[in-house]
Amino acid sequence: MTALIVGEALVDVVQRPGAEPEPHAGGSPFNVAVGLSRLDVPTRLAAQLADDAYGDLLRNRLHESDVALDVLEPVPARTSSARATLAEDGSASYEFDLTWDPAALPDPGEFEVVHVGSLGTSLEPGAALVADLVVMADALGVPVSYDPNVRLTVEPDPEAWRRAFEAIAPHAGIIKMSDEDAAALFPGEAPGALAQRLAADGALVAITLGGDGAVVANAQVVATIEPATVSVVDTIGAGDSFMAAMLAWCSAYSWPAAGELDLTELTDLGMYASSAAAITCSRPGADPPRTADLTP
């Protein structure tokens, strides 16, 4: 069966210091779909794309990465975009121009796993449909993956993101977030303790820590993942590559229940995902690795 990824697809217009703007295919769910397919998991992306130049750029990236596309109605007047401004250390800040108002979403029962996240779970009116999709998938026994990927430049109220998290996280067996997401959603909680608390109900939880690595937890143990060595070009799409690699690892092990994984396995999963993120950081824009890039 195929993985279903639902959410925004957009073009990152990257502004590097002293350079002309560069358009790159992006959007968190879009990047996860590309990254997952490149790691040899059959993948379908359900997103809204317009019939314009940016839409063509996105379609070409999906085609070259063997991602099937389900274009959601209504077709927007223009493809969504985000202006990403890079700091000297490669980190990015964003300004968005986007639409998320699908009339309907695919049947989750036709897929092996469903992944949702970011603006697709928080931007109305489409967010309500995504929440319903997640509930339906959970009821059908289809594993759900979730990355909140908080973007306060689009929705500046942290409470809106917390409401989205509270609606989706109880139905998700795999949860990944960055330390910045964690600070917005759960201010003051240490990442390791937060990961274990969120995992207490049976989820597999990862919190990425930028240059400090990551923590990966289930209800029994927490694995501390050391950062991979990398020369950073930019960090765009790194978290999405981590997410895609988590899903690919779980797919290879037939979607094990989180509680079945011991410390060695959690560490292996985290190192695999961290390596994928590091490769993405070494490339301009969201350009996740293929299986061969992660094979010694």
Does the predicted model carry a pTM greater than 0.85?
A: yes
Class of CATH domain 3-290: alpha beta
Reference 265, options 229, 227, 221; nearest CA is: 221
Return the higher-pLDDT residue of 89 and 287. 287
Q: What does the alpha-carbon distance between residue 230 and residue 104 come to, in Å, rounded to a whole number?
A: 41
Report the percentage of the chain scoring pLDDT > 70.
99
Q: Report residue 97: phi and psi, to 5°.
A: -135, 100
| pLDDT at position 14 over 80 | no
Q: What does the alpha-carbon distance between residue 88 and residue 77 come to, in Å, rounded to a whole number?
A: 35
**What pLDDT, in 10s, does the model give residues 16-48?**
777 787 888 989 999 999 999 999 999 999 999
Reported as a pLDDT band with limits 50, 70 and 90, residue 92 is: low
| pLDDT at position 90 over 80 | no
Q: Where are the domains of the chain?
A: 3-290
